[in-house]
Chain A
Amino acid sequence: MIFRKGQRVEVYRKSDDEGWEGYMDQYVGSHGIITDPDMTINDPDALVEVSLDELGTHRFPQDCLRPLKD
């Protein structure tokens, strides 16, 4: 698991993963907080739950996220 609960992250790019849908394009560049990290088997492919600032809570593939420095 690369992300932990409460960590600030940025959606820094689109993902090629099937979990990425067209409407998510608008979230690239948004910042948010990990609210439910990968709970299964520390799988880098798992979708993680992110609450974006003012833009709602979504499940994203991990490869489109990067941590923000506090």
Chain B
Amino acid sequence: MPATTCPVHTTEMWLDDILRSGRLKHPKSRRIAEEIRQLVDDIAWGRGGPDHLPAVESLGGELVDEGPDDAGVEIGNFIRSAVDDHREVFKSHIETHNCATGDCVKLAPAPCQMACPAGIDVPTYVTLIGHGQDAEAIEVIRKDNPFPWVCGLVCTRPCEFMCVRGRIDTPVSIKFLKAFAAERAFSDRRYENPVRQPDKNRRVGIIGAGPAGMTAAYYLALMGYRVRVIEALPMAGGMMMVGIPRYRLPREVIDREVAMIEALGVEFVFNSRFGVDVTLEQLKKEGFEAFFIAIGAHSSFKLGVPGENDFPEVIDAIELLKNVALGERHMPGKKVVVIGGGNVAIDVARTCIRLGCEEVTIAYRRTRAEMPADEEEVEQAEEEDVKLSFLTVPVEIVGEGGRVTALKCLRAELIARKGSTRKSPVPVEGSDFFMDADAVIPAIGQAVDNGCMQELSGLEWTRRKTIHVGMASMETSLEGVFAAGDAVLGPATVIEAIGGGKKAANSIDRYLSGIPQPKMPPVPVRRGRIDWIEVPASTKMVLKRPEMPLLNIDRRRTTFQQAELGYSENMVREEARRCLRCDICRRCGDCVAVCRDKMGINALQLGYLNFDHPVKTDFRLTEERCIACGACAESCTNGAMRIEDREGERILSLCGIILNRQKLVCCEGCGAVLGPAKYLDYIRKKTGTVAQVSGGHALCEVCSRKKVAVFDSSKPPGG
């Protein structure tokens, strides 16, 4: 992902070296080189404006054209080629405050942003939500993801796994904050589309109106392309609409966000099967120049056990979810066994409960610890009376009179096979038993239904039966044809599909503009560096991630109403204050080291700085030991640790966390600020003579000298 070195940083280092080397003898060359170095430093630290790059180029040109010495000309040529070769990188530093490599530390994205497959600038929008600026937060999110509300309800939230706050207690509840902000922005009628670029009069065809397809449509439409989305289903949403039950993701949420995409002029053609109702050739004849395939993974894996194809009550999980989503509300059976341990299995089981099934059991061949489904989803399923049967391997579906009566299973035990650490479920011989069932629903995974792709004979497929693409550009083996989402990854996540769609949109734009494709995936772009929220250390430690309020259990068992009711406004604003602002603190640990090793104080207990082995963190302890010397703030290269005198106090803060607040002592002679008492004690211990001179009085250096110098006529000379 990140390039190994940043050209802006490299340029600055090179200029530093040449300035230090003394090779620049002529004052004019030296002056211009120093000016260029300052401008490049501004760019590297996010201070660059629109005039910086032209100024760098102009000064470089001046050295080349009028350089009074060879070294000056050399610098001019170096600068010219650095800017020419890496103009986009310099511009991204200036315009988006983004350094892909992290070399320019102030501009590197936070771990949560890096973790997000769509690259959303999490710290910026979480802080905006903390400030109550929900619509502004949504604006930031939609720069990278056109579905903030959908993701606020169903995202698998890789960002929270990487959330540094999780190393202290629990991750910030990023997902639910996003849902709140989106709902509020819609409610306030402040959920708005950005301005579309002028029409390019060029057409792009998108196959599939799922999250990947619609994301690509959104960004391409914003770029000024004319986009048509072809969808086999009668509505937009893809797996979000027909694979995720309504109690997790209400249809209105999808419809509202799709409407925003439609408002950009994207044309949707529903009930139209690619390869049957419309072909690639037809689209090309109509003037479409590039294509994006996002057909998802809608076919289910088979169990491969006897009886699977013999009974109508053996129901495909995806088919069941789709039918229910499209309005069918028939109970598949009274006693249902769902086979699998992923989110789809849980969704099916909870759907069956809502359809009125009397007994719903999930049969999973491993243990709870290995279940890939979301823990909260599993817990909620259990609350709704879904039974879980672990270490259960289905071996046959049995029935009578053409109807399912039971699922024959074997008990399993997890055993590591020879030469492998991987534990596999091994059936225990003679342990067979029957689970009563009148419907069996295998939910063991999905595959790409490639039937509609027969026309594209040159399209390469992987051995996993997914479309083969280069992950940096999402280009397929066919020129002008791109693909992303489940069709490429196999059954994956909504946010990965969104990330893939965005990447593909950029690649399609490059393709149609004749720009070569990138060799590496893009790095998330920082959308700002907004001010942090000030929070006392004790509050920062005490604030806890709120529990999500849930619909009452009776309604959850009987209706498809949204189960998670959402955070209250107060919960949201408080939760946003737990964010550590890792877009500003880079967790280099320099502050801890200088306090412990140089000052010998060791006041910073920031165990979360270590990724692999985080130890205890307690922001409150700083106040006990800190002398407010400011060495930590001085050593912080990114402005995260700050020390300032405010209203008679010296305040030490880390990204807004008030670590220490000490009353300032002023000079008794002139009133100048001397520092906090603890700091003065520390200095006195280190410089005993000064303490003697001041005689226990709080005096500044000037007043101390004056006091010593005062002539005392009552004392005899030498006395």
Show the binding face of A for B, using Cβ within 8 Å. 1-2, 4-6, 8, 18-19, 21-23, 26, 31, 33, 35-42, 44-47, 49, 51-59, 68
Contact = CB atoms under 8 A, between A and B. Distances in A.
A23 B158 contact: no
B422 A35 contact: no
A47 B116 contact: no
B161 A6 contact: yes
Given A23-B472, A31-B612, A39-B343, A55 B2 contact: yes
B140 to A, nearest CB: 19
Interface in B494-520: 496, 519-520
Contacts of A18: 462-463, 468
For the complex of A and B, list the 10 residue pairs with the smallest distance between their C-beta atoms, beginning with the closest: A40-B445, A35-B158, A51-B115, A2-B422, A23-B520, A56-B1, A39-B342, A33-B161, A51-B158, A41-B445
B523 interface: yes
Range for the number of chain B residues in contact with chain A: 35 or more
Given A23-B472, A56-B114, A39 B161 contact: no
Given A18-B468, A21-B471, A35-B156, A51 B366 contact: no
Central interface residue in B4, B344, B472, B611, by most chain A CB within 10 Å = B611
A21 to B, nearest CB: 6
A68 B366 CA distance: 22
Nearest to A51: B115
A36 B158 contact: yes
Interface of B: 1-2, 4, 102, 108, 111, 114-117, 156, 158, 161-162, 301, 342-344, 365-366, 369-370, 372, 374, 421-423, 444-446, 462-464, 468, 470-472, 489-493, 496, 519-521, 523-524, 611-612
A46 B444 contact: no
Contact of A59 (B2, B108, B365, B489): B489
A55 B1 contact: yes
A36 B444 CA distance: 15
B443 to A, nearest CB: 10
Given A21-B470, A44-B422, A37 B372 contact: yes
B372 A4 contact: yes
Nearest to A26: B4
Contacts of B161: 5-6, 33, 35, 51
Given A56-B115, A57-B116, 18 more contacts: A4-B370, A4-B372, A18-B463, A33-B161, A33-B162, A35-B158, A36-B493, A39-B372, A40-B491, A41-B445, A46-B464, A49-B117, A49-B496, A53-B611, A54-B114, A55-B1, A58-B1, A59-B492
Contact of B372 (A23, A38, A58): A38
A58 B111 CA distance: 14
Contacts of B301: 40-41
A10 to B, nearest CB: 9
A49 to B, nearest CB: 7
A53 to B, nearest CB: 5
Contacts of A33: 161-162
Contacts of B372: 1, 4-5, 36-39
B444 A55 contact: no
A56 B464 CA distance: 24
B3 to A, nearest CB: 9
A31 B612 CA distance: 8
Contacts of A39: 342-344, 372, 445, 491-492
Contact of B519 (A6, A23, A42, A59): A23
Nearest to B4: A26
A53 B524 CA distance: 14
Contacts of A57: 114-117, 158, 496
Contacts of B344: 39
Contact of A31 (B115, B116, B444, B611): B611
A31 B446 CA distance: 29
Nearest to B113: A56
Contacts of B611: 31, 53
A38 B372 CA distance: 7
A2 B416 CA distance: 10
A21 B369 CA distance: 31
9 contacts: A1-B370, A5-B161, A33-B161, A35-B115, A35-B161, A42-B366, A53-B162, A54-B111, A59-B489
A49 B486 CA distance: 13
A46 to B, nearest CB: 7
Nearest to B109: A54
A12 to B, nearest CB: 13
